[in-house]
Chains A and B, each alone.
Chain A
Amino acid sequence: MTDKDNNEEFPAGGVILDGGNADGYETGGWRKLKPVLDKEKCTNCLICWVMCPDSAIIVEDGKVVGFDMEHCKGCGICDVECPPKINAIKMVSEEEAD
């Protein structure tokens, strides 16, 4: 559905012929705030990974390593869900982060 040079080949009626294609739809551009992880504080409890509605928490070997910025919409659920005693995720504006 994203091949704009070949859009005459789109399936009639807008039928999407394969599954798991939400991955190809980049929603990161909607973001106003971005999450920043403090790896020192993070205990890798993975509550953020469970709660993220966009599956945008990147986990490797059971550890949070960062965020998928092509899909993170900046909703801040990870920040809210990160246990208050830990508080390893902070939402900051895009400019501030840079």
Chain B
Amino acid sequence: MAIENAKSAQVGLTGNSAVALAMKQINPDVCPAYPITPSTAVIETFSSYVADGEVDTELITVESEHSAMSAGIGAAAAGARVMTATSAQGLALMWEMLYIASGMRLPIVMTNVNRALAAPINIHCDHSDSMGARDSGWVQLYSETVQESYDNVFMAVRIAEKVKLPVMVCLDGFITSHAIENMDTIEDADVQAFVGEYEPEVSLLKESELPTTYGAMSLPDSYMVFKKQQSEAMSGAKKVVEEVSAEFAKKFGREYGLIDSYKLDDADVAIVIFNSATGTTRVAVDELRKEGHKVGVMRIRLFRPLPHAEIAEALNGLKAVACLDRVDSFNDFGGPLFNEVRSSIYDLENRPKVISRIYGLGGRDYKVSDARSVFEELLKIVETGTVEDTTKYITI
């Protein structure tokens, strides 16, 4: 659904429409794209904005996602503001180029609508696509709602261009991408004022600098230096995400942290989770709180870089924590969220017990009752002091 005139107004939009609207309001220079379910509507809607002349964007319809990211890298190196969207197999096909985009420090912004990776082939939500790309050097923002997906796209542009790293905005396939939610839009002029002009320090098409070379070979005398620079840029991204989010909150009234804690302050046990399943978990928290149990939930919004200190601080004092991964690492030791949260809190003096629960793969429903079962397991761990299953599949 294409939106005609964006004003600051409350509208009902799907996640995909909201992301496409955000892209229209940003008006990027180049959008190389190869549509794939469930992110197809982002590109479909955006292409209608292009066809209607509502944006100046050069939409490049390429022959594969590998080409989409390759074209994006070329355009970004030339100095263009580049945006695209993908999902699952499309992200997997981009793999080689994801690392090149980050290694070349190109601030490409890509929406990844989370979908399960084949095989077996499946089009529904889980996080196996973006979790596999977690070490590709992209900043990763995870969005709980349609509103947050829309807002994150604007912030992603600012973050990417400040830290010179590509940013991936993730939202849940179908659950968020295809469900209509009430949300607030931002006026076009306010969007433009927020994202500003993209002025790269160096680029192939910058007239003042001739000539430059991108993507040259770097051997043992220099490769590691570039990786260290990249690592430092990623570390520094945390502060930039905080600053950009704070500026966004000041201008538009919606606050987003690196993590989002709900009733954690006095909690004994908590679930740590990503994206849309957080709302379901909050309902379980409210129910159990009414029944007198001190439970809470933490949502990770920024996963790359990992806000490890913030995670440790927020979980300090708890007795048991369950990390719910919508992906398996196939390592016999839980999902990525489990491993990274568990590692983040290792230095706490009285660290909570941490368990891994893998849920919702390939779009399997995660219900309030599932969250309740996990909380009940956690409360039992606190009561007995023993963990029966460190890792387990649930919702099956």
Mark A residues whose CB is within 8 Å of B.
Answer: 1-2, 4, 7-8, 10-19, 21
- Asked if residues A13 and B213 are in contact (CB atoms below 8 Å), the reply is no
Assembly CA distance A19 to B214 (angstroms): 12
Assembly CA distance A1 to B225 (angstroms): 11
- Asked if residues A15 and B213 are in contact (CB atoms below 8 Å), the reply is yes
A24 CB to nearest B CB, Å: 12
Q: Which of B49-57, B103-111, B154-162 is found at the contact surface with chain A? A: B103-111
A23 CB to nearest B CB, Å: 14
Assembly CA distance A19 to B104 (angstroms): 18
Closest to B214 in A: A15
Interface residues of B, count at CB 8 A: 21
- Asked if residues A7 and B209 are in contact (CB atoms below 8 Å), the reply is no
Q: Provided the pairs A15-B214, A17-B202 are in contact, do residues A1 and B222 lie with their beta carbons within 8 angstroms?
A: yes
Report 18 cross-chain contacts, Cβ distance below 8 Å, ordered by A residue: A7-B221, A7-B225, A10-B226, A12-B226, A12-B233, A13-B103, A13-B214, A14-B222, A14-B226, A15-B212, A15-B214, A16-B212, A16-B214, A17-B202, A17-B209, A17-B212, A18-B212, A21-B213
Assembly CA distance A19 to B211 (angstroms): 5
Assembly CA distance A12 to B106 (angstroms): 10
Q: Provided the pairs A16-B216, A17-B202 are in contact, do residues A10 and B210 lie with their beta carbons within 8 angstroms?
A: no
Given A14-B104, A15-B202, 9 more contacts at CB 8 Å?
A: A4-B221, A11-B202, A13-B104, A14-B222, A14-B226, A16-B216, A18-B211, A18-B212, A19-B211
Task: Chain B residues near A4: list those with CB within 8 A.
Answer: 221
Assembly CA distance A17 to B212 (angstroms): 5
Task: Chain A residues near B214: list those with CB within 8 A.
Answer: 13-16
- Asked if residues A13 and B226 are in contact (CB atoms below 8 Å), the reply is yes
Task: Chain A residues near B218: list those with CB within 8 A.
Answer: 14
Q: Is B127 an interface residue (CB 8 A)?
A: no
Q: Provided the pairs A14-B215, A17-B202 are in contact, do residues A7 and B222 lie with their beta carbons within 8 angstroms?
A: yes
Partner of A14, one of B210, B211, B216: B216
Closest to B102 in A: A13
- Asked if residues B222 and A10 are in contact (CB atoms below 8 Å), the reply is yes
- Asked if residues A8 and B212 are in contact (CB atoms below 8 Å), the reply is no
Task: Chain A residues near B221: list those with CB within 8 A.
Answer: 2, 4, 7
Q: Provided the pairs A17-B202, A17-B209, A19-B210 are in contact, do residues A12 and B164 lie with their beta carbons within 8 angstroms?
A: yes
Q: Is B229 an interface residue (CB 8 A)?
A: yes
A62 CB to nearest B CB, Å: 30
A13 CB to nearest B CB, Å: 3
- Asked if residues B106 and A13 are in contact (CB atoms below 8 Å), the reply is yes
Closest to B224 in A: A7
Task: Chain B residues near A7: list those with CB within 8 A.
Answer: 221-222, 225
- Asked if residues A13 and B210 are in contact (CB atoms below 8 Å), the reply is no
Assembly CA distance A11 to B215 (angstroms): 12
Assembly CA distance A12 to B225 (angstroms): 10
Closest to A17 in B: B212
Closest to B213 in A: A16
- Asked if residues A13 and B225 are in contact (CB atoms below 8 Å), the reply is no
Task: Chain B residues near A17: list those with CB within 8 A.
Answer: 202, 209, 212
B94 CB to nearest A CB, Å: 18
Assembly CA distance A19 to B212 (angstroms): 7
B364 CB to nearest A CB, Å: 40
Which residues 173-215 in B have Cβ within 8 Å of A in the complex? 202, 209-215
Task: Chain B residues near A11: list those with CB within 8 A.
Answer: 202
Closest to B204 in A: A15
B316 CB to nearest A CB, Å: 35
Assembly CA distance A16 to B106 (angstroms): 15
7 closest Cβ contacts across the A-B interface?
A13-B105, A16-B213, A19-B211, A13-B104, A7-B225, A12-B105, A14-B226
Task: Chain B residues near A16: list those with CB within 8 A.
Answer: 212-214, 216
